[in-house]
Structure 1
Amino acid sequence: MEKPRQGFAGLWNISFGFFGIQIGFALQNANMSRVFQSLGSAIDDLPALWVAAPLTGLLVQPVIGHLSDKTWLGRLGRRRPYFLLGAVLAALSLFLMPLSEVLIMAAVLLWVLDASLNISMEPFRAFVGDMLRKDQHTAGYAVQTAFIGAGAVVGSIVPWLMTQMGVANVAADGGIPDTVRFSFWLGGAALFLAVLWTVVTTREYSPEEMQTFGEAEEGEGMAQPVRALATKPYSSCAIWIAAGVAVILAVLGFDLEKEVYLLGALLVLYGALSAVAISMAKQGNTTGMLTSIVGDFSGMPDVMKRLAVVQFFSWSALFIMWINTTPVVTQYVYGSTDTASAAYNEGANWVGWLFATYNGVAAIAALTLLPMLAKKLGKAKTHIVGLLAGAAGFASFFVIRDPQTLLIAEIGIGIAWASILAMPYAILASSLPQAKLGIYMGLFNIFIVVPQLLVATVMGSIMKAFFPDEPIWTMAFAAATLVIAALAMLRVEVPGEETAGEPANA
């Protein structure tokens, strides 16, 4: 027996909550550098302050994925309890953020906000796979991507709209302007109501119903990754720990930025947790959260491993963009680095329009361009085209100095963003075991988070050493990493399609 086919209303309801979540992410991405600088942060310190966001995703998403796979709360369901919890916490964080008076308060609230958004976001990825038949996965993730783009447009342009309505865009005391303050409050309300819509209008399939679809039982192949953990030597754990120690020593020996300590600490922590998980597995404990997460991570399917490389480089570029677009545009296009000046704040508002443009393009491309290309070229080649379009968009920042013309650059970035949000997940949802979709989607997020941690910890050191006071060069790094991601996509073999390196059927 197959799942019922969802109509447009069903596809809408399943992903509408992501519209609100992305409003929250857009407000965060477009305004947090502005908030930090308004509260006294220097440009060189921005990556360290932003490190909270990817770190919380790294910790939260695998845990939430594992828990949501095993949750069933009656009428509330499997994934929806996490939607609701994350939405409540995120809305509270958005309300409190613009009330920050000191830098440390804003940094802590960013941590809480990003953790809350991740609690809601991770189950939404698995929710599409839960609710839809395999032949609707591409459509489901396309609709989700469209909502992500639409939500990001709304979240990105609200401060600009506030300015047009006469709301003060420069704070008298040099702090957080009213445009940002009111935008965060409206965004919090929109986020909560959008997620509530999905919670109220959808009904998840019960464990019994999933059994009738043949997607609930964990067979031998599904349990194998965890059982295989018991056969692994402890030497692999030692390698992770040694790598972390080497990073920490490099910070001391080469006077790198102190934020790089975090990278070393994470490597040591993973090595230690792996050792504990292996020990538990050898003792016969293969059902605990730690052994399940470590076992599934080490036993990922091949298609997921290859896509992980693509994600690593793709998201490196995106995080570079989110951190550095405001400093680049305000300095090179509007000619100001003074956060209290009208020119700086005008440029910061224009960044909101730039972000709204790439997200708007993504929403349209997800429903039109990508399905057309995927049908003609296949999912893998379509993703390559999208990534190269984004690389061209980032490279154009070097030659464009007119605010309006920068919108052209955002078209390429928007196509890349649509492809990054849709294609890997459409490939994975049809390739992974349904009963572990939550944990695998959560683990896949590691390859989104780790590059963000690297950017947040290493980019500051690179820029200070080679390009001091020249943030424009961050866009060169972004363009290069998307080209590398496109090359890595050549190795991804999509089930049922030609490989990216071979001719596809028309």
Structure 2
Amino acid sequence: MAKKPHLSFWQIWNLSFGFLGVQIGYSLQNGNTSRILSSLGADVGHLSYFWLAAPLAGLLVQPIIGLSSDKTWTRLGRRVPFILGGAIASALAMFFMPNSEFFTYLFPPLIFGAVMLLFMDTSFNVTMQPFRALVGDMVNDDQRNIGYSVQSFLINTGAVLGSILPFLLTYIGVSNIPAEGAKVAPTVIWAFYIGGAILLITVLWTSFTTKEFPPKEYEELNNITAEEKKHTSFLTLLKDIPETMWRLSIVQFFSWFSLFLMWVYTTSGIAQNVWGVVPTDSTSAAFNAAGNWTGVIFACYSAFAAGFSMLMPRIARIIGRKNTYRYSLLLGGLSLLSMIFIKDQYMLIFAMAGVGISWAAILAMPYAILSSSLPASKMGVYMGIFNASITIPQIAAGLLGGVILALLGGQAIFMLGVAGLSMVFAAIGVFFVHDKNEIR
């Protein structure tokens, strides 16, 4: 029986290197979308509705891209054409979104910004989904943990750079306050320009250094039978979803419900709790300082996650993947809950250590467990369907966020407590996940 070759570390690195740039862009979006939309006139109570663009795009796009890439073969490969095309569209969206106020002849600035958010996140999803499947395609069973851990490391390194970029630009002298008559600070605009350029460069690196297995060789290496290659309807695919995937999806629901609330409400929460800013004061120097600090602490949790990503394969061999996953989520939940009581901006960094560990596990452990239970001929489409376990909880959080915030008296910091409880529920859910290829 044919077996996939053992890849060198640098071959595994090149497979996911483009994710570094994608995550820089995605982190700029996460850290600055609320800030941009608030500057364009969005009310804090309505922010979660704008953020629905991201999960809705992922819910629709990723299964389609997964199914399409499973059936595609070009000179560039199976997954790479989608990765490259999505990266180009993402970079264009990153140029337009922070400049929404200059397109008033087309739409009101807030509407244009919302449209660009949808376009940008759709493009990110086109790029990101094939990266997950590409690692599953190329690495053998013995290297799955290291394959997804390297991907997690690159994602989190990109998140550090993207999150901290506006702060660094402020440090070197770029204005962090909108110019007279403008709405968005130059630090944000230039951060998006730089992020878009890096995204393109890193994706080009993966595109031209990765040689995917040709169709015949891929089938032999994955022992794909003629029966398995037969056309399967989407409804049949849903009916045949492995039990492991269903159970992981429950864990994912609570994990990503938590993360969505954190991304949406951290800026407003710490602005109120640490800087004493009222929710409507979204163009003040204090609010923009809180926005920059959100970038810094998001960079911190990503830095902690990058470091933990390199330790995860060793830890998983000792205590198992499920225990690594469970304890990481629990630590993240407790850390988010602690933010309610923190009044010092520097103490927030310590809370981010636990969030970073949970984030590293979320990016690697579900995919390492899942990829072992999926048929190779349907790796892309099932990875795309699995993305619903990321997008549906974000849609739920987006629809419920404003309601929950109102029930909590408009105190955005309490939304981080809700996020913490949700992460704790995710940790409990890991007990019920079956990992048939547990590596200890």
Q: Distance in 2 between matches of 1:379 and 1:330?
A: 37
Q: Distance in 2 between matches of 1:450 and 1:214?
A: 31
Match of 2:332 in 1: 390
- 1:217 shift after superposition: 3.3
Q: Distance in 2 between matches of 1:302 and 1:49?
A: 33
Match of 1:78 in 2: 78
Q: Distance in 2 between matches of 1:377 and 1:214?
A: 29
- Residue 374, structure 1, aligned to residue 316, structure 2: yes
- The residue type equivalent to 1:345 in the other structure is N
Where do residues 68-467 of structure 1 align in structure 2 (5 Å cutoff)?
68-73=69-74, 75-101=75-101, 102-171=109-178, 172-173=180-181, 175-217=183-225, 219=227, 287=232, 291-292=233-234, 294-337=235-278, 338-368=281-311, 370-464=312-406, 466-467=407-408
> Helix, strand or coil: the match of 1:76?
coil
Size of the aligned set, in residue pairs, is: 429
Structure 2: segments with no counterpart, 5+ residues: 102-108
> Helix, strand or coil: the match of 1:219?
helix
Q: Distance in 2 between matches of 1:323 and 1:295?
A: 36
Q: Distance in 2 between matches of 1:160 and 1:483?
A: 31
**Counterpart contact for 1:358–1:413, Cα < 8 Å:** yes
- 1:373 shift after superposition: 2.2
Match of 1:226 in 2: none
Q: Which has the higher contact order (CA 8 A, sep 6+)?
A: 2
- The residue type equivalent to 2:156 in the other structure is G
- 1:462 shift after superposition: 2.3
**Cα displacement string for residues 326-372 of structure 1 (whole angstroms, at most 9, x for unaligned residues):** 0001111111131221111111100000000001111110101x223
Change (3 A) 1:174 1:331: farther
- The residue type equivalent to 2:217 in the other structure is E
Change (3 A) 1:214 1:332: closer
- The residue type equivalent to 1:420 in the other structure is I
Change (3 A) 1:179 1:214: closer
**Cα displacement string for residues 423-451 of structure 1 (whole angstroms, at most 9, x for unaligned residues):** 00001111211110000100000010000
- The residue type equivalent to 1:217 in the other structure is T
- The residue type equivalent to 1:486 in the other structure is A
- The residue type equivalent to 1:361 in the other structure is F
- 1:138 shift after superposition: 0.6
Q: Distance in 2 between matches of 1:489 and 1:219?
A: 33
**Counterpart contact for 2:87–2:200, Cα < 8 Å:** yes
- The residue type equivalent to 1:170 in the other structure is I
- 1:199 shift after superposition: 0.2
**Counterpart contact for 1:217–1:435, Cα < 8 Å:** no
Which one is further off, 185-194 or 336-345?
336-345
Q: Distance in 2 between matches of 1:387 and 1:457?
A: 24
- 1:468 shift after superposition: 2.5
- The residue type equivalent to 2:201 in the other structure is L
- The residue type equivalent to 2:210 in the other structure is T
**Cα displacement string for residues 102-121 of structure 1 (whole angstroms, at most 9, x for unaligned residues):** 10000000000000000010
- Normalised to the residue count of structure 2, the TM-score between the two structures is 0.95
Q: Distance in 2 between matches of 1:454 and 1:496?
A: 32
**Cα displacement string for residues 87-106 of structure 1 (whole angstroms, at most 9, x for unaligned residues):** 00000000111110110000
- 1:2 shift after superposition: 1.4
- 1:218 shift after superposition: 5.3
Q: Distance in 2 between matches of 1:447 and 1:21?
A: 20
**Cα displacement string for residues 291-348 of structure 1 (whole angstroms, at most 9, x for unaligned residues):** 32x3212321011111010001110000010000000011111111312211111111
**Counterpart contact for 1:19–1:151, Cα < 8 Å:** yes
Q: Distance in 2 between matches of 1:335 and 1:76?
A: 53
Aligned-pair identity (%): 45
Q: Distance in 2 between matches of 1:352 and 1:34?
A: 11
**Counterpart contact for 2:23–2:155, Cα < 8 Å:** yes
**Counterpart contact for 2:369–2:437, Cα < 8 Å:** no
> Helix, strand or coil: the match of 2:358?
helix
- 1:212 shift after superposition: 2.5
Match of 1:276 in 2: none
Q: Distance in 1 between matches of 2:139 and 2:315?
A: 22
- The residue type equivalent to 1:357 in the other structure is C
- Residue 14, structure 1, aligned to residue 18, structure 2: no
**Counterpart contact for 1:86–1:119, Cα < 8 Å:** yes
- The residue type equivalent to 1:115 in the other structure is T
**Counterpart contact for 1:38–1:174, Cα < 8 Å:** no
Q: Distance in 1 between matches of 2:227 and 2:320?
A: 31
Q: Distance in 1 between matches of 2:277 and 2:413?
A: 14
- 1:174 shift after superposition: 5.2
- 1:418 shift after superposition: 0.2
- Residue 481, structure 1, aligned to residue 422, structure 2: yes
CA RMSD of aligned residues (A): 1.3
**Counterpart contact for 2:334–2:424, Cα < 8 Å:** no
Q: Max radius of gyration: which structure?
A: 1
